[in-house]
Chain A
């Protein structure tokens, strides 16, 4: 399930909560450092998930911080991190095959399709 809020909004909210926890005079909270860095234990983690749920007004797993152990990870997960449109990899494929001396071969039809048979 994803939220209508952006990843930046969710990360900012989490960072503010963590900053309040460690104190305004401590070093600025870094969204790429694990929650354990800021001393969150398992009870704190469940409480944080509940607060997040109330703020987002959508269900949030109580074990969210175990699976996504940083503010950045939670934000990306909840915002759904929209994938970039699929690029056309023909140039990369051709260049790599040439580098490996495989240019005599025709590109396989399976390259951009399903890989499992």
Chain B
């Protein structure tokens, strides 16, 4: 009997592939954080939690440890976003070459199944909470399909608590808890709403606390609430943050929270939701600001960023002790050759140290891609390789001008003097520690600051003093924003240098050196 049970056991390897290099991939920061990877991905631990006991699950996150192609598995499952696509296919091809059965799912497979299909024996399209258990049942019976397509979006409350035991202990700087999926807005370029829908689905505050408890028990004191837009449903967000505030106050060590929200969180005059977020421990918010050009915002239906003063809004958030990290995009139809300099001016004035800048891309499934296809304005490039390229043919400039403007802007943003100026504006907006609504970060984390100084000392004469100059701006202020800004800046420098676009000459030019001697590409 025991032998029979043993024979029925299945071994499944689940892999999160390494992303390609970008400002979102946080390279070269493990010597500062002390953790192999920056941010956790909870997709695979969620699948692990759905497995029956006769299945043995092994999870490998390539950001933490390498994949071994040796060994025999009953199934190899691979997830991933667009930025992981090339590595996802490489891993799948190698396992299949060795005769292993390969399944691929996740956001990229769901949005671009036609690209993934040739690399997978089994394809999962859509959220896997419903299809994965169905597949496992089929798999254990020995008869499975080649494609599992989720017909509906799930009730998020039914998603299991991720099984963190499948991840390497202390593998990440940031733990992750997801409280909702979906976003009610309809930005033309956004593929999240294509995949996760515009009707936001939520977990109850009790359920969120249970997941936070688990993260805390695993040693995480920095946790990212990985919602697509945390404050889109203000009542829900307030209920959650009230519960989190009480939870955090009861913790022996306070937890620092990060999330993503939209700038309209500042629309209420007395800002009760923002105060609540700060009291709960929110210290950093990614905000899709995209551009200060209102014509561009109107063009892509980013209505939540219109009819407001974006600089004042950013300062309102910062005044609650919350650092704004901005997603910015170049290459909208309404953008002109003047837009690059205007964008720099805006970001310097707003004091946003961490800027994730990319060129507009028309992603699979988005209304933007449909519109540009109809206008015959798509270039036939593979999106996964588009870190320094775009499939969009711009309207008011050539492709070369867009590239040159973007490279100039990246060099300006990450020239030490401009980074320090933005950090100084941010520090000046912060409340004093005595008046801060949120719990303070530990200042006396000596080992962390030693690692910062050591890491920056390897970057050359222009950069080695950046931490010291930055620290001078934070007397009497909470240093959490300084910590994460310095971790990010280290990775941004690594990205620009490894791409080979790091060019101090660009930072000396008041605007990009455009030239019209090259013919437009495409």
Chain A positions within 8 Å of B, measured between CB atoms, are: 22, 25-27, 31-34, 36-39, 41-42, 63, 66-76, 83-84, 86-87, 89, 92-93, 95-97, 99-102, 105, 107-108, 110-112, 115-117
Contacts and interface: CB of A to CB of B under 8 A. Distances in A.
A96 B452 contact: yes
Contacts of B33: 115
Contact of B449 (A31, A73, A86, A100): A100
Nearest to B451: A115
30 contacts: A22-B518, A32-B407, A32-B503, A34-B388, A34-B407, A34-B499, A36-B399, A37-B400, A39-B521, A66-B20, A67-B21, A70-B388, A72-B500, A89-B454, A92-B467, A93-B454, A96-B468, A96-B471, A97-B450, A99-B468, A99-B472, A100-B474, A108-B446, A108-B447, A108-B450, A110-B447, A115-B31, A115-B33, A116-B30, A116-B35
Question: 5 closest A-B pairs (Cβ-Cβ)?
Answer: A73-B500, A70-B500, A72-B500, A111-B450, A36-B389
A70 to B, nearest CB: 3
B443 A102 contact: yes
Nearest to A88: B457
B443 A68 contact: no
A91 B515 CA distance: 45
B451 A89 contact: no
Contacts of B518: 22, 26-27, 38-39
B468 A27 contact: no
Given A26-B518, A37-B404, A96 B500 contact: no
Given A33-B407, A68-B498, A102-B443, A86 B458 contact: yes
B456 interface: yes
Interface residues of B, number: 56
Nearest to A111: B450
Given A73-B500, A96-B453, 18 more contacts: A22-B518, A27-B517, A31-B500, A34-B388, A36-B521, A72-B500, A76-B497, A86-B458, A89-B453, A92-B468, A93-B453, A97-B446, A99-B468, A108-B447, A111-B447, A111-B454, A116-B34, A117-B170
B464 interface: yes
A42 B449 contact: no
Interface string B459-478: 01000110110011010000
B500 A76 contact: yes
A63 B20 CA distance: 12
B194 interface: no
B404 A33 contact: yes
A42 B499 contact: no
B459 to A, nearest CB: 10
Contact of A102 (B387, B449, B451, B474): B449
Dominant SS among interface residues on chain A: loop
A32 B506 CA distance: 10
A75 B32 CA distance: 27
Contacts of B389: 34, 36, 69
Interface string B1-44: 00000000000000000001100000000111111100000000
Contacts of B500: 31-32, 68-76
A26 B467 CA distance: 42
Contacts of A22: 518
B517 A42 contact: no
B317 to A, nearest CB: 24
Contact of B30 (A36, A67, A115): A115
B310 interface: no
A32 B498 CA distance: 11
A45 B136 CA distance: 42
B501 A34 contact: yes
Contacts of B381: 41-42
A25 B521 CA distance: 17
A97 B30 contact: no
B407 A110 contact: no
A100 B499 contact: no
Contacts of A71: 500
Contacts of A92: 453-454, 456-457, 464-465, 467-468
Contacts of B464: 87, 92
B259 interface: no
Nearest to A74: B500
B499 A36 contact: no
B167 to A, nearest CB: 15
B295 interface: no
